[in-house]
Amino acid sequence: KRGIIILERVPHGFYEQEMKSYFSQFGEVTRLRLSRNKKTGRSKHYAFLEFSNESVAEIVADTMNNYLLFGHILKCRVLKELEPEQIEKLFKGANKRFKVIPRSKLAKRDNDKAKPEERWQKLVVREEQRRQEKKAQLEKLGIDYD
């Protein structure tokens, strides 16, 4: 039976590659997932590690709990009695190198691409209506805008 641990209070700079190489001294790390913010890609400071043996996970949890690393005290505990569906949710996207999605570039590309003729006409009509409404408001105030 495989052992799963949760590692909390993970410091900045201790990412997937460093974790895998560090924890492999205890035993084989089969899966590892560091939780990250989807938008920025920064760490959420907790990770899930799966070891090939449950006894290894217990040893890691005992050894690494309250361990001082980069000025942070790590919290580590074994997760027991999880259902297979829960385990798969924990490790969704595990063992993959994280790549930040350039959302601003994608938004700029979508905004700059050519619009269909009917959509362009709608935009022109809507802008003309806004200008007429603004002109009417200014005339109410006694301002001649032309």
> pLDDT tens for residues 40-82?
888 999 999 999 999 999 999 999 999 999 999 999 999 988 8
Provide the domain count of the chain. 2
What is the pLDDT, as a whole number, of residue 84? 84
What is the pLDDT, as a whole number, of residue 131? 95
| Residue 72 in domain | yes
Confidence band, pLDDT 50/70/90 cuts, at residue 124 = very high
Q: What CA–CA distance (Å, rounded) separates 97 from 143?
A: 61
List pLDDT tens digits, range 5-47.
999 999 998 999 999 999 999 999 999 999 998 878 889 999 9
**Mean of the pLDDT values across residues 79-88?**
87
Residue with tokens 């949890």: 61
User: Is residue 97's pLDDT more than 80?
Assistant: no
| Residue 126 in domain | yes
- Residue 8, beta-bridge partner list: 46, 75
Are residues 8 and 71 located together in one domain of the fold?
yes
Q: What CA–CA distance (Å, rounded) separates 79 from 54?
A: 10
What is the pLDDT, as a whole number, of residue 21? 93
Confidence band, pLDDT 50/70/90 cuts, at residue 115 = confident
Q: Which long-range contacts (CB under 8 A, 24 or more apart) does 40-44 make?
A: 40/100, 41/98, 41/99, 41/100, 43/10, 43/12, 43/15
Are residues 73 and 26 located together in one domain of the fold?
yes
Q: What range does the domain containing 62 cover?
A: 3-91
* Residues 88, 2, 17, 64, CA torsion sign: positive
DSSP states of 75-132? EEEEE-S--HHHHHHHTTTTT-------HHHHHHHHHHSPPPHHHHHHHHHHHHHHHH
User: Is residue 2's pLDDT more than 90?
Assistant: no
**Mean of the pLDDT values across residues 96-119?**
87
| Residue 102 in domain | no
What is the pLDDT, as a whole number, of residue 66? 94
